[in-house]
């Protein structure tokens, strides 16, 4: 995992601005760009490489999100477990944005191997709620289990 201070790679696409975040969100993270985001545009924030967020980082992040222009649509994709921990614990952490996909931690009950699998919420949503595909252990091929309490992992779904 990337343990450097937060880096943000911006790519301007015709229909959205793409921001790829990597590293640690802490008191040193430069989040001033949030208030300069183009209003009325869609912004996709990829947090796959966000390794850790400390309490100062949480505070800075929430302040930064409060500063975005009105009418901005925010979509979060490939959210890392560290990012999702905060989304699940802090009500306004995603601040009106939509979670599109997230990494879910799995553990193998047989050999203890751990893995993280990308889950697209729309693709896995059924009339009965979220249905997760079976994940096979890369080590011993047994079915893997969720590494955390599903109520905690998905509490953001309300």
What's the Cα-to-Cα distance from 84 to each of 52, 97, 103, rounded to whole Å? 10, 13, 8
For residue 112, give every residue at least 6 positions away whose Cβ sits within 8 Å of its Cβ, in sequence order, or none.
none
94 forms part of the interface with Zn ion (CB under 5 A): no
Q: Restricting to residues 97-156, which ones interact with Zn ion according to CB under 5 A?
A: 108, 110-111, 113, 137, 139-140
Q: How far is the CB of 120 from Zn ion (least distance, A)?
A: 24
Identity of the residue, 35 or 114, whose beta carbon is nearer to Zn ion in the bound complex: 114
Q: How far is the CB of 151 from Zn ion (least distance, A)?
A: 24
With 0-12 / 13-18 / 19 or more C-beta atoms within 10 angstroms meaning exposed / middle / buried, residue 78 is: buried
Q: Which residues bind Zn ion (CB under 5 A)?
A: 108, 110-111, 113, 137, 139-140
């Amino acid at each position: 995992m990337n343990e450097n201070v937060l880096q943000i790679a911006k790519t301007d696409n015709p229909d959205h601005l793409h921001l790829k975040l990597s590293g640690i969100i802490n008191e040193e993270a430069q989040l001033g760009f949030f208030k300069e985001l183009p209003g009325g545009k869609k912004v996709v924030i990829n947090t796959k490489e966000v390794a850790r967020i400390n309490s100062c980082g949480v505070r800075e992040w929430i302040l930064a999100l409060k500063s975005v222009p009105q009418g901005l649509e925010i979509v979060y994709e490939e959210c890392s477990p560290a990012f999702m921990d905060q989304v699940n614990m802090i009500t306004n952490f995603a601040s009106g944005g939509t979670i599109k996909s997230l990494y879910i931690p799995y553990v193998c009950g047989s050999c203890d191997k751990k893995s993280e699998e990308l889950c697209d919420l729309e693709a896995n949503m059924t009339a009965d709620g979220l249905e997760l595909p079976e994940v096979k252990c890369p080590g011993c091929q047994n079915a893997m289990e969720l590494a955390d309490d599903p109520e905690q992992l998905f509490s953001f779904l309300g």
